[in-house]
Amino acid sequence: MLTLRSILRPTRIVDAHCDIPCGVYDPEQARIEAESCLKIIEKYEQNTDEHFRARCINIKEERAELVKHHLDVLWHDYFKPEHVEKYPDLHETFWKATKQASKVKQSLDAGAAKELLSMIDTIDEMWKATGGPGTTRVNGRPS
Partner 1 sequence: MSTGRGTRLLLVLILVALGASLGRRRLDVVEVRGRSMSPTLLPGDRLVAARLGPRVGDVVLVRDPRDPSRELIKRVTRVDDSAVVLRGDNLAASTDARTFGSVPAATVRWRVVLRYWPIHRAGRLSPPVTHGLESR
Per CB under 8 A, residues contacting partner 1 are 2, 4, 6-22, 62, 65-66, 69, 77
Rounded Cα distance between 24 and 3, Å, is 45
Residue closer to partner 1 (CB basis): 86 or 99:
99
Residue closer to partner 1 (CB basis): 59 or 114:
59
The 10 Å Cβ neighbour count of residue 65 is 14
Give the list of residues 6+ apart from residue 75 with CB closer than 8 angstroms, or none: 91, 94
Query: Euclidean distance between the first and final Cα of the chain, in Å?
Result: 65
Residue closer to partner 1 (CB basis): 77 or 89:
77
CB of 86 to partner 1, least distance (A): 24
CB of 62 to partner 1, least distance (A): 5
